[in-house]
Structure 1
Amino acid sequence: MRHLLSLPRLASRAFNTTARQMKNKVPERQKVFQEDNGLPVHIKGGTTDVLLYRLTMTITVTGTAFSCYWLLMACLPKGKA
């Protein structure tokens, strides 16, 4: 029971900002995303963003194709066996 009573103190200590100072990277990232280099915003983050975009599009197109296939199969009459 003592562990449960000390939980709020531990939680506040974990989120305390004075325990560990982190560098603010937001201005640097804003410069990258606001740069006019002709790239769409969803791939300005680099190679990881490009791979995630392509993976998402592949899953979307494949899922749409499978959905259309199964809808077509459901619409066709079954042959007499």
Structure 2
Amino acid sequence: MFRHLRTLQQVSRRTISSSAPRQLENKVPGKQKLFQEDNGMPVHLKGGVTDALLYRATMALTVFGCGYVVYALINAALPKKKA
């Protein structure tokens, strides 16, 4: 009984670990070449349009957040007078 369970474990482990549907190409050397290239661009923008959009969205959220913090601090420091 135990021997059958052990065999079933080995068979299931073998089929799961060796069932790669396709081989993926290694993109790391190309990315390394792109990011190590000295073209005057900052590294956080070398990824293309997606990186530029993420950078701009992050900067916009940061500026908006800082502005809101200043507004909240001024509002807390100068409370409205009750009539």
Q: So what's the TM-score if we normalise by structure 1?
A: 0.77
CA offsets, 1:10-32, max 9 Å, x none?
Answer: 8x82xx46512110000000010
Q: 1:42 to 1:69 in 2, by over 3 A?
A: same
Structure 1: tracts of 5 or more residues without a match? 1-8
Matched residue SS, 2:80: coil
Picking from 45, 48, 65, the partner of 1:46 is 48
Q: 1:47 to 1:62 in 2, by over 3 A?
A: same
Q: CA deviation at 1:73?
A: 0.4
Q: How does 1:12-51 map to 2 (within 5 A)?
A: 13=16, 16=17, 19=20, 20-51=22-53
Counterpart residue type for residue 73 of structure 1 = N
Q: CA deviation at 1:79?
A: 1.2
Q: Distance in 2 between matches of 1:73 and 1:47?
A: 39
Superposition RMSD on alpha carbons, in Å?
A: 2.2
Structure with bigger gyration radius: 2
